[in-house]
Structures are given as structure tokens and as C-alpha cells.
């Protein structure tokens, strides 16, 4: 029997329609490239419906750079701003409980230090923009990739073929594209699980993002509108399992105790989710006619709230380079891809080292090192120019 297959000729095939893949599709299409966006799942069921009163437990801290970029792509206009909270300050505490390090937006003469919003809110905005520029999501799973000299061929389980000058692998941490092309990864388990949940709080949070660095644990209470906070608690997998098995009251009491009731009484609202925490870096973020972006390329600890921002910066770098090519130039040319790899190297190494270094520092059992950390925080607190630098590094 002969099977008929449809073939789509495209400039860029994007595998994975998470936030990084969606924004890549929008940014490349806005440059006049023909884009084919593929995901094995249809538009996620949790994608925002304005009528839903519940708040998404999955939230993001977005940097000012990310917000400006999403605005320039036309995505930000679709975000429901009533459900976005600007970050006015950050309060960081370490185990010795000496004076916290407080970073304020005004330390760097900024109106805000990024913002907190729900994943579903941003997803919804991306889908609105996709619709506005008439890009359809192809719901299918790739089954093979063949790299030819002038294009790459993706076969889909729907019997369709896609011929693309470039494949953008945005298919997340377990990236099928990366595994199929046998690109290895450096993997580190933090032996931690992150529990995320939203709480109503008794005392106003005043836009303060609070973080406690405990021995081998980090607890963040991030401000949300309506006197709510989003909790991201990274803790040992064993303790996380015990916490997840607790009653709602006991669980809430544990959180109140860990944050020393900084915001008074807490009331859990909505679902509680958990994620195991690892660090993973691909040995190469390019292959013949392929680039890796987002978690497919690198996964970092969420303590710095940088994962999706880092993925967006991959797309920014890629599209800054493609903007320099004419639409007739080959976007999958290997020399071009090497420029992308060079452009991303430093940022990824910096972020991976920072998050894994902070985890190591705060998990230390050496009291002298803990004291040194506390002393360091107090020195930063007293040094105006250093605070300005830190605020700029944390937000831009
Ligand atoms: C607890 C926690 C808190 C976090 N908090 C923050 C934060 O505050 N700020 C921040 O910046 N980051 C944060 N992160 C990190 C952030 O969630 C990720 O970096 C980000 O979601 C990665 O996006 P992505 O689009 O690369 O991948 P994903 O969101 O994983 O999307 C991958 C997409 O690919 C699709 N896919 C997978 N396999 C295939 C296949 N074979 N074929 C086709 N499609 C496929 C999937 O369906 C999915 O749609 C957090 C992470 C965790 C775990």
C-alpha cells in the first residue's frame, strides 16, 4: 500500500510550543520567516480563561528585559495586567537570621524590578498573538529527523513531512530533538523538589519578593495582586514528600513557621504542585540545521527565577542574528548557527554557575561559611553602589 504524505516547506520548524517555542514562533514570523510550530499536545487545557477566578499555581518572575521584549513583539498587550504584580523590592535572608539584604527598585532608580505573573496569563497572551499573526499550531509528534545539506526533514506521526531550513528545538527538558540527535547533557540533581502554591496573606506584601536561604532549602514568597503571594519552596525531596502528605492546616503552619510569619496568617488558595529540581546543560546547543532553546538547552535551579527568562534570551539572541540576514539568506547555515552558540555561551554558564553556587553556599554545614555569608549580606546592605549593581543584575 502506498501512503500519501503531505510535505510542508518552511523556513523554520519549531518543535515545542511552551513559552519559549511560542515566542520564537512569533518573533521569527514577525521577521517575515515562514514558521511551522509543532507540539505533541493541543493548546494546554490550563491555558487561561478570563472567567476562571482561580489563580494558576505556576507563576513566573519576569525581568524588565523580558517585559520590554514581550512588549516589542506585541505579546504584552494581551496580558491581563490586573493579574500582574510589579516587584518593588527583594528581601533576602540567610540561615544565621542576621539583618536581611534588602534591594529596592529605587536603589537603581527603576520604577520596578520586574513582575510576577501566572504562566497561564502569559500563555494565553502568546496564543492571542499567534492568532493575530495567523500561525496555526500543528498538533503532532515528530518521529524522525533527517539532516540534508540544504534542509532538515521532520517526519510526523500524522504522516506529514516538514522540510525546514532550520529546526528550533524548544521541546523542554526531556527534548526529543536533543535526544534523537544524540546531543549529551551534563546533569546534576539537587535532590530537591519545589512545592508551589498560592496563599492569601494577612499583612500587605507591598510588592516585596521575599526569599529565605535555609540550609539546602530556599523558600520564596512572591507578591501577587489581591493580597496574595505565590510560594516556591525548594526543599529536600524527602521533606517535600512529607509536606505534600500533610493536611492543609499542617502544611500552612509549616510555611508560616519557615517564613517566621513574615506576612502574618496564611490561607492556602488553589492547588499545590511539585517539581523535582535538576540542573542540565546540553553539550552543544547547535547541530546541523538545528538550534536548541529554552529548557531543551539548559535547565537551572528556580531559586533565581531565571529559567524562562534565560530561554527568552536564547530567542532574543537567535532573532537578533536572523534579523541581520535577508529573508533569502540561509537561516540554517552552520556558520550562522555557530554565531548563535557563541552568543549564548557566557549567559548560560553565568546563570548555571550562579544558581548551583548559591545552592552549594547555603547548603553548607560549615558555621564559619554561614557567618561569612551573613557578614557579606550586611556589607552589601551598607554599600550603595553594590546594591545598585545587584538590583540591575537581578532585574535587567
Ligand atoms: C518550580 C519551578 C518554578 C519556576 N519558576 C520560574 C520563574 O519564576 N521564572 C522563570 O523564568 N522560570 C521559572 N522556572 C523555569 C521555567 O518553568 C522553565 O525554564 C520554562 O518553562 C521552560 O520553557 P520551555 O518553553 O523551554 O519548555 P516547556 O515549558 O517545558 O515546553 C516544552 C514544550 O514542548 C512540548 N514537547 C515536548 N516534547 C515534545 C515532542 N516530542 N514533540 C513535540 N512537542 C513536544 C511540550 O508539550 C511543551 O509544550 C521554574 C521552574 C520550576 C520547576
Measure CA of the first residue to CA of the last residue in the chain; give whole Å. 58
Answer for the pair 259, 92: CB distance below 8 angstroms, yes or no: no
Q: Tell the residue nearest (CA) to atom 30 of ligand 1.
A: 172
How far from 386 is each of 101, 150, 154, 271, 391, CA to CA, in Å? Answer: 12, 50, 50, 39, 9
Confirm if 281 and 289 have CB atoms less than 8 A apart.
no
* Site to substitute for ligand 1 among 170, 171, 173, 177, most atoms within 8 A of C-beta: 171
Mean pLDDT along residues 202-229: 92
pLDDT: is 50 or 85 the higher one?
85
Distance between CA 209 and CA 223 in Å, rounded? 6
Q: Give me the helices (H) in the chain, please.
A: 19-30, 64-72, 119-132, 176-180, 237-244, 248-258, 307-322, 334-362, 367-382, 384-395
Does position 2 have pLDDT exceeding 50, yes or no?
no
pLDDT of residue 43: 83
Whether residue 282 contacts residue 144, with contact meaning beta carbons closer than 8 Å, is answered with no
What is the residue whose three cell numbers read 524590578? Answer: 113
58-76 pLDDT tens trace: 999 999 999 999 999 999 9
Given a cut of 90, whether residue 185 has pLDDT beyond it is: yes
By C-alpha distance, which of 243, 242, 238, 241 is closest to 255?
A: 243
The DSSP bridge pattern shows strands 137-139 and 35-39 to be parallel
d(CA 169, CA 295): 10
Q: Kindly state if the Cβ of 142 falls inside 6 Å of ligand 1.
A: yes
Q: What phi and psi, each to the nearest 5 degrees, are found at residue 232?
A: -125, 110
**How far is residue 201 CA from its own chain's centroid?**
25
CATH code, 7-47+55-395: 3.50.50.60
The answer to whether the CB of 151 is under 6 A from ligand 1 is no
With a 6 Å cutoff on the Cβ, whether 233 touches ligand 1 is: no
- Residue 77 cell numbers, joined: 498587550
How would you classify the pairing of strands 115-118 and 59-62?
antiparallel
Dump pLDDT digits (tens) for 145-178. Answer: 999 999 999 999 999 999 999 999 999 999 999 9
| Residue to mutate (ligand 1; options 13, 15, 16, 39; most atoms within 8 A of CB) | 16
d(Cα 31, Cα 21) in Å, to the nearest integer?
Answer: 16
State residue 191 phi and psi, 5-degree precision.
50, 35
Of 242 and 104, the one with more pLDDT: 242
CB of 180 within 6 A of ligand 1: the answer is no
Q: Residue 368: which pLDDT band, with cuts at 50, 70 and 90?
A: very low
**Confidence band of 396 (pLDDT split at 50, 70, 90):** low
- pLDDT for 360 equals 60
- What is the chain's mean pLDDT, rounded? 88
Write down the pLDDT at residue 50: 58
Structure confidence at residue 1 (pLDDT)? 41
pLDDT of 88 over the 60 cut: yes
User: What residues have CB less than 8 Å from 295, skipping those under 6 apart?
Assistant: 18, 20, 172, 173, 175, 307, 311
Per the listing, cell 496574595 goes with 228
Handedness of CA 370, 367, 214, 257 (dihedral sign): negative
Distance from the Cα of residue 77 to its chain's centroid: 20
CA-angle at 390, arms to 83 and 314, nearest 5°: 65
Of all residues in the chain, what percent carry a pLDDT higher than 90? 70
- Give the angle 18-297-35 at the CA atoms, nearest 5°: 50
Q: How confident is the model at residue 106 (pLDDT cuts 50, 70, 90)?
A: confident
pLDDT band at 364 (very low <50, low <70, confident <90, very high): low
CB 236 within 8 A of CB 192: yes
**Is the pLDDT at 55 greater than 70, yes or no?**
yes
User: Between 384 and 90, whose confidence is greater?
Assistant: 90
Give residue-wise pLDDT tens across range 309-350: 999 999 999 999 999 998 788 999 999 999 999 999 999 988
pLDDT at residue 154, as a whole number: 98
- For 249-299, how does the pLDDT look when each residue is reduced to its tens digit (9 = 90+)? 999 999 999 999 999 999 999 899 999 999 999 999 999 999 999 999 999
Amino acid at each position: 500500500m502506498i501512503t500519501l504524505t503531505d510535505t510542508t516547506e518552511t523556513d523554520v520548524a519549531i518543535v515545542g510550543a511552551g513559552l519559549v517555542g511560542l515566542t520564537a514562533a512569533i518573533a521569527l514570523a514577525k521577521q517575515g520567516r515562514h514558521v511551522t510550530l509543532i507540539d505533541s499536545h493541543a493548546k494546554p487545557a490550563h491555558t487561561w480563561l478570563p472567567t476562571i477566578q482561580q489563580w494558576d499555581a505556576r507563576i513566573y518572575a519576569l525581568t524588565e528585559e523580558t517585559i520590554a521584549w514581550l512588549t516589542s513583539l506585541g505579546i504584552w498587550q494581551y496580558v491581563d495586567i490586573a493579574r500582574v504584580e510589579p516587584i518593588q523590592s527583594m528581601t533576602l535572608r540567610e540561615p544565621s537570621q542576621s539583618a536581611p539584604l534588602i534591594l529596592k527598585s529605587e536603589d537603581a532608580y527603576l520604577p520596578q524590578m520586574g513582575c510576577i505573573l501566572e504562566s497561564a496569563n502569559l500563555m494565553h497572551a502568546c496564543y492571542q498573538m499567534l492568532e493575530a499573526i495567523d500561525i496555526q499550531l500543528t498538533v503532532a509528534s515528530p518521529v524522525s529527523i533527517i539532516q540534508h545539506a540544504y534542509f532538515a526533514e521532520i517526519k510526523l506521526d500524522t504522516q506529514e513531512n516538514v522540510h525546514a531550513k532550520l529546526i528550533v528545538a524548544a521541546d523542554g527538558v526531556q527534548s526529543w530533538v536533543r535526544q534523537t540527535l544524540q546531543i549529551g547533557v551534563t546533569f546534576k540533581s539537587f535532590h530537591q523538589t519545589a512545592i508551589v502554591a498560592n496563599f492569601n496573606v494577612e499583612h500587605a506584601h507591598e510588592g516585596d519578593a521575599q526569599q529565605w536561604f535555609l540550609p539546602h532549602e530556599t523558600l520564596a514568597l512572591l507578591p501577587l495582586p489581591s493580597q496574595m503571594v505565590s510560594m516556591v519552596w525548594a526543599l529536600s525531596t524527602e521533606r517535600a514528600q512529607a509536606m505534600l502528605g500533610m493536611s492543609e492546616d499542617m502544611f500552612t503552619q509549616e510555611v508560616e513557621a519557615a517564613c517566621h510569619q513574615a506576612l502574618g496568617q496564611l490561607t492556602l488558595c488553589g492547588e499545590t504542585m511539585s517539581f523535582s529540581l535538576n540542573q542540565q546543560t546540553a553539550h552543544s546547543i547547535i547541530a546541523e540545521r538545528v538550534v536548541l532553546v529554552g529548557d531543551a538547552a539548559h535547565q537551572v535551579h528556580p531559586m533565581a527565577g531565571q529559567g524562562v527568562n534565560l530561554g527568552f534570551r536564547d530567542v532574543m539572541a537567535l532573532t537578533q542574528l536572523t534579523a541581520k540576514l535577508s529573508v533569502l539568506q540561509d537561516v540554517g547555515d552552520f556558520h550562522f548557527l555557530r554565531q548563535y552558540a557563541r552568543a549564548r555561551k557566557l549567559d548560560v554558564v553565568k546563570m548555571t554557575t550562579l544558581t548551583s553556587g548559591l545552592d552549594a553556599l547555603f547548603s553548607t554545614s560549615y558555621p564559619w561559611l554561614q557567618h561569612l555569608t551573613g557578614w557579606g549580606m550586611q556589607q552589601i546592605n551598607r554599600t550603595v553602589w553594590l546594591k545598585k549593581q545587584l538590583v540591575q543584575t537581578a532585574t535587567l
